[in-house]
Amino acid sequence: MSGGDKLEFEIRRNPAPVSAADRAALLVDPGFGRVFTDHMVTIRYAEGKGWYDARVEARAPIPMDPASAVLHYAQEIFEGLKAYRTADGGVTLFRPEANADRFVASAERLAMPPLPPEAFLDSLHRLIEIDREWIPTGEDGSLYLRPFMFASEVFLGVRPAREYLYVLIAAPVGSYFSGGVKPVKVWISPDYTRAAPGGTGAAKCGGNYAASLAAQAEAIEHGCDQVVFLDAVERRFVDELGGMNVFFVYDDGTLVTPPLTGSILPGITRESVLTLAAEAGLTVQERSVSFADWQADAVSGRLREVFACGTAAVITPIGHVRFPDGEFPVGAGRPGRVTMELRQQLVDLQRGVTADPHGWVHRVF
C-alpha cells in the first residue's frame, strides 16, 4: 500500500468481541480509561515509503523490540477527543480537525513525520463505525478516542527515527472526576515546573505528562485534586494545571487566561471557551496572572470564579487553593454562574443539542 493523504483501510474484525450483555454491564459504570473497545486502528510509516498498511483490527498488545527508539528517546505524541451519542441516535465529534492539526504540530516539534489530517480523521471514522455500540448513552457518557504515534524503529542512536507506528484506541468513559461536577482543590507546586520556553510545552507529548506526575503526587499528599504549575523562568505566573488550561473570572465581567507563550498547551477546549465567552458579552483577555494576584484578588472578592478546562473534564470549577504557606478559597465554595453556563454551552454543542454557528460539531452518523 502506498503512502499519501488518502489511505485505504483494511478491516480485520475482532473474531472474539465482547458480548452484548457483557458490554452493557461494562457501560453501566465505565469510569475513565479503564474499559476499552474491541478494535483499534494502526498505520505504519517508513522513511522513503511514507504512511502505509492502514488497518482496523482487534485491539491487542503491540509487539515491541527492547531497542525500539521510543523506549530510549521518547519520540511519542498523542491526542484526546470524544465521540458523543445524540438524542436521535447519531454520533458527533467536537472539532476533530483541530485535533488533527495539533497532532501535526506536535509531530513537527518532536521531529516526527506528520500524519496527514485526512488520514487522522478517517481513522476516527473507521473506529467509530465498527465500535459504535460502545458509546455510552448516559448524560456524562462518551467514547474517548486516543490517537497516538511513536518511534518504532529498532536502533540505539540519538537521531529522529525512520519508522513510526500510529495507533488509535477508544474507551467508553463517564465523568472525569468522580462525583460529577464539583469544585476541586488545587496545589501550587513550589518546586516543579511543567515546561520551559523553547521546550515541548506546546506539544502534546507523553514527556510533558511524565514530568507532571511527581508534582501531582505532591498535590494529592496535600489533599488536593490537581497541581497548578507556575512559569519556569520567574516562578511567579500561572501556566496551567497538570493536564488542563486555567481561566479566571472577575467581578467586572472579565475572563482571563494565560497567553500561549510556547510553554502552555494550546487547548482546543480553551480556544472554544474564549470564543463562547466573548459571544456571551464577557471581556476576554489573554494575559499573565501572577499567583500573588490570584491570592490577593480571591481574598478581596474581585476574583469571583476560577475554572480549568480540557477534553477529558470539559470545564471543572476550582474552589480552593493550597500552597506551602497557606490556603484560600475561591468564590463561594460552589460552582460559579459563568463557569457552569460556559460548561453547559460546551456540553450542549458537543452533543448536538444546540445550533452550531461555528461549524465545530462534526456529525459522524
Alpha helices (H) along 132-230 = 206-210, 213-221
For 236-280, what is each residue's pLDDT tens digit? 999 999 889 999 999 999 999 999 999 999 999 999 999 999 999
Residue 1 has pLDDT above 60, yes or no: no
Output the DSSP codes for 218-237. Answer: HHHHTT-SEEEEEPTTTS-B
pTM of the complete model? 0.95
**Cα 207 from Cα 204, distance rounded (Å):** 9
Q: Say what the pLDDT of residue 206 is.
A: 96
C-alpha cell, 315: 470545564
Q: Say what the pLDDT of residue 222 is.
A: 97
Which of 6, 182, 185, 204 is catalytic? The answer is: 204
**Cα 271 from Cα 267, distance rounded (Å):** 6
Q: Say what the pLDDT of residue 3 is.
A: 44
C-alpha dist (Å) from residue 329 to 112, 285, 355: 44, 23, 36
On whether the CB atoms of residues 323 and 292 are closer than 8 A, the answer is: no
185 catalytic per annotation: no
- 361 vs 181, more confident: 361
C-alpha cell, 10: 483494511
Q: What share of the chain is helix, strand, coil (3-state, %, to 5)?
A: 25, 30, 45
**Cα 100 from Cα 148, distance rounded (Å):** 11
Q: What is the largest CA-CA distance in the chain?
A: 64
Q: Say what the pLDDT of residue 95 is.
A: 97
Residue 114 in 3-state DSSP? coil
Residues 78-99: what's their mean pLDDT? 95
Confidence band (pLDDT; 50, 70, 90) for 70?
very high
Residue 286 has pLDDT above 60, yes or no: yes
For 179-229, what is each residue's pLDDT tens digit? 667 899 999 999 999 999 999 999 999 999 999 999 999 999 999 999 999
**Cα 363 from Cα 365, distance rounded (Å):** 6
**CATH top class, domain 10-173:** alpha beta
What mean pLDDT is reported for the chain? 94
Q: Say what the pLDDT of residue 175 is.
A: 77
Domain coordinates in residue numbering, the chain = 10-173, 184-351
**Cα 277 from Cα 343, distance rounded (Å):** 11
Q: Residue 311 corresponds to which amino acid? A: T
CATH number for the region 184-351 comes to 3.20.10.10
Residue 67 has pLDDT above 80, yes or no: yes
For 115-169, what is each residue's pLDDT tens digit? 999 999 999 999 999 999 999 988 789 999 999 999 999 999 999 999 999 999 9
**Around Cβ 52, how many Cβ atoms within 10 Å?**
15
